Chains A and B, each alone.
Chain A
Amino acid sequence: MTADKLRNTIINGLPCDHVEVVGDDGQHFEAVVVSPQFTGKNRVQQHQLVYLALGERMSAEIHALSMRTFTPDAWAQSAIK
């Protein structure tokens, strides 16, 4: 697993404005995902959409994925970008 592959999998499964994935040891990754699909959903529902995009085959590796999700509005106001 690479950060690029993980990023592509998320983008292919979920309409996103912005996706960042970092991690270079093949096991531990951190992701920031910005999607209009998150609007009106709570954090749990937002993360569930990303897990859905990642699919079952990646669930064994998801343990090492830490993520933060943002709606486009929340992302525009965020200080971390």
Chain B
Amino acid sequence: MNVQEKIRNQVTENSIVLYMKGTPQFPQCGFSGATVQILKACGVHDFTTVDVLADPAIRDGIKVYSNWPTVPQLYIKGEFVGGADIVRDMHQQGELQKLINSTVGL
């Protein structure tokens, strides 16, 4: 399985996936840490995270997969939602909460 197939499996087999630098407990980047906090603020606590610093192939591959040059990257139900700026804007406008509610069936 190549890295693009691996990523596709990760984002389709898990409803909410965050590619980030570090872990939710120990984020290695302010943008990644802020995105984790936003997901928690939306009531999401059991999302899947992938530490791109632990896997160089994923770190490069995720940028190709989404045609997006930066990490973090949030995926919901297999769809690329956005990076830190977009997640922040969607959260401020209430759109992220709606999307999450419809995903987890709240």
Contacts and interface: CB of A to CB of B under 8 A. Distances in A.
Interface string B66-101: 111110000000001111111001100000000000
A51 B69 contact: yes
Task: Give the interface size bracket for B toward A.
Answer: 10 to 19
A16 B32 CA distance: 29
A22 interface: no
A63 interface: yes
Overall SS of chain A's interface: helix
Contacts of A47: 68, 82-83, 85-86
A43 B86 contact: yes
A64 to B, nearest CB: 9
A10 to B, nearest CB: 14
